[in-house]
Structure formats: structure tokens, C-alpha cells
Amino acid sequence: MIHLPAMAGENHPQRQFLGVYFVRCLVYGRLYKNAEGTAYEGNCPRCGAHFHIRIGEGGTADRFFKAYCPPPKR
């Protein structure tokens, strides 16, 4: 009998996230729900800009968004 090792992330609850296209950096990424469950947070994988999206009444059920990182400083 062959026993395979568990895949990474197996037996772990999946974290809720929003898919994000970071328009200025031309890259996709994710913002994950924070520990308090009050917002989705994360950074652009290319420039590191931080994003904080609140969760609340009257929001949307959409799971994918566009975000605009700040332009580079000159």
C-alpha cells in the first residue's frame, strides 16, 4: 500500500478572500478576511501598496474587484 503525504492546505479551513486585479501594476492578487471578520486586507504583490476593504451592511456579493495602486513617487 502506498501512502502519499497530505497536500499543502489539506485538512485546513480555507480562508475567505477577494480576488483583485491591481490595474497600475498589471497583476492579480488576493485580499484575505482579517481575524476580526470586519474587513479584507492585503498588499499588491508587485508594489506592496496596502488595501483595506470593510465588510458591512449594504455591501456587495461580488468576489472580484479592480484596485488602483498609488502612482510611484517622483
Containing H/E element for 34?
Answer: none
Cα-only R_g, the chain: 16
- Residue 24: enclosing H or E segment and its boundaries? none
Domain boundaries, the chain: 1-74
Q: Rounded to two decimals, what is the model's pTM?
A: 0.76
Percent helix, strand and coil across the chain, each rounded to 5?
A: 0, 35, 65
Instruction: Using alpha carbons, select from 70, 73, 65, 21 the residue that is nearest to residue 48.
Output: 70
pLDDT tens digits for range 2-44: 655 656 556 667 899 999 999 999 999 999 999 999 999 999 9
Give the mean model confidence (pLDDT) for residues 46-64: 93
